[in-house]
Amino acid sequence: MEYKNDTLTVRGDWALANYQTLKQKVDDYSGEQWSVENVDLKGLGRIDTAGASLLVALLGPETLSALAKHDGTLPQEQSALLQAVADAMQEKPPPEPEGLAPITQFLTETGKTVEAIWHLVYLLAGFVGQILATLFVVLPRPSRWRVTPFVAAVQNTGLNALPIVALLTFLVGAVVAFLGATVLKDFGATIYTVNLVAFSFLREFGVLLAAILLAGRTASAFTAQIGAMKVNEELDAIRTLGLDPVELLVIPRVLAMMISLPILTFVGILSGLVGGGMVCAIALDISPAQFMAIMGRDIELKHFLVGMSKAPIFAFLIAAIGCLEGFKVGGSAQSVGVHTTSSVVQSIFMVILLDAVAALFFMEMGW
């Protein structure tokens, strides 16, 4: 390496065997700014990744990348190696600053978290758009329907989840009735425990508990299944065969969830009402016939429709998040575990967030 007449001439073998000698020469020119016109690579001999990384440290990734692209004297394999190393080192994140004040560290971490959340929302919005576009293409063409995976997904997401949903909503209905009886007793209004149980399960608890259970049970399963396929390179095989993984793997799961969750919501509402009615019969001497009469008199059909209307939306988002996290899995078992956990957390968060937004919307609309 020689600097003469405002031109830096690079010659010889830049390989691992000469790393220490080359490193000292590179350190001698540290801090200098080089442009494409000031560097001559015609005398460059053999080079490997160690030597290429030293050239990046010497010239900078932008300058070396430009030289690799436009210098016609370099062999094609050397040009490709320099380009790859320059691109890799150019994308390396800057080192973390040391000695930051606590408030600066807090703001830095907050900014990183907000950026990560925005990135997740951006990816989810794009994936939802891809699912909708595929649905518009597939649904009008019955020959492209995947009936067998759809039926299997309905069984796994719906029928197999019925017992746990029914049991959980039954117990929660009993708890809500006990709570209402305890609080309303002081006001002499224990009869309104029926209204409390009916309103809470028809509008909120039925769909919310079923959605949260599916978020933990099914979204994680979708992520693990698709993630394992990616680790085993099955997704690459599907693309090699000319098939669309979204159409093949995602659409049957999304449609199955949109069928299963409304059914589970309906079962959850019935189980919650049964649990609340049982407590009312045992603790408040409100017979099942009186319980049903009060519901028929005071509870309008719109409350049931409000709760059921949220089920398909929750199901679509849960399935989309579970499948998206599966596609984001890397090449290791640890990545499968990380994204499975992430899919559960994201699904439950989105369900609760949308439920809160829907509650405000229906309240303002008077529904």
Q: CB neighbours of 184 closer than 8 A, spacing ≥ 6? A: 190, 192, 193, 196
Q: What is the CA radius of gyration of the chain?
A: 31
Tell me which of 92 and 220 has the higher pLDDT: 220
Domain count, the chain: 2
Write the CA distances from 124 to 235, 258, 316, 322, 331, integer angstroms: 20, 18, 12, 10, 21
Do 230 and 161 share a structural domain? yes
- Spatial CA neighbour of 217 closest among 157, 150, 151, 152: 157
Do 143 and 46 share a structural domain? no
Write the CA distances from 25 to 29, 41, 60, 81, 85, integer angstroms: 7, 16, 15, 21, 20
332 pLDDT exceeds 80?
A: no
pLDDT score at 272: 93
Q: What is the pLDDT of residues 119-148, one digit of tens each?
A: 888 988 999 999 999 999 988 888 888 889
Q: What is the pLDDT of residues 355-366, one digit of tens each?
A: 999 989 988 888
Domain residues for 27?
Answer: 2-90
Domain membership of residue 280 (yes or no) is yes
pLDDT score at 2: 66
* E strands in the chain: 2-4, 7-14, 39-47
Domain membership of residue 221 (yes or no) is yes
Q: CB neighbours of 261 closer than 8 A, spacing ≥ 6? A: 157, 158, 207, 210, 211, 214, 311, 312, 314, 315, 318
Which one of 90, 122, 145 terminates a domain? Answer: 90
* Reported pTM: 0.70
Do 76 and 150 share a structural domain? no
Which one of 63, 90, 117 terminates a domain? Answer: 90
User: How do beta strands 7-14 and 2-4 pair?
Assistant: antiparallel
Q: What is the pLDDT of residues 161-188, one digit of tens each?
A: 999 999 999 999 999 998 888 888 888 8
pLDDT score at 162: 92
At 61, the pLDDT band (50, 70, 90 cuts) reads confident
34 pLDDT exceeds 70?
A: no
Do 157 and 31 share a structural domain? no
Q: CB neighbours of 298 closer than 8 A, spacing ≥ 6? A: 194, 195, 198
pLDDT score at 267: 94
Instruction: Give the CATH number, domain containing residue 13.
Output: 3.30.750
pLDDT score at 210: 93
Do 332 and 197 share a structural domain? yes
93 pLDDT exceeds 60?
A: no
pLDDT score at 252: 92
331 pLDDT exceeds 90?
A: no
Domain membership of residue 26 (yes or no) is yes
Q: Which of 2-11, 26-35, 139-148, 313-322: highest mean pLDDT?
A: 313-322
Tell me which of 56 and 112 has the higher pLDDT: 112
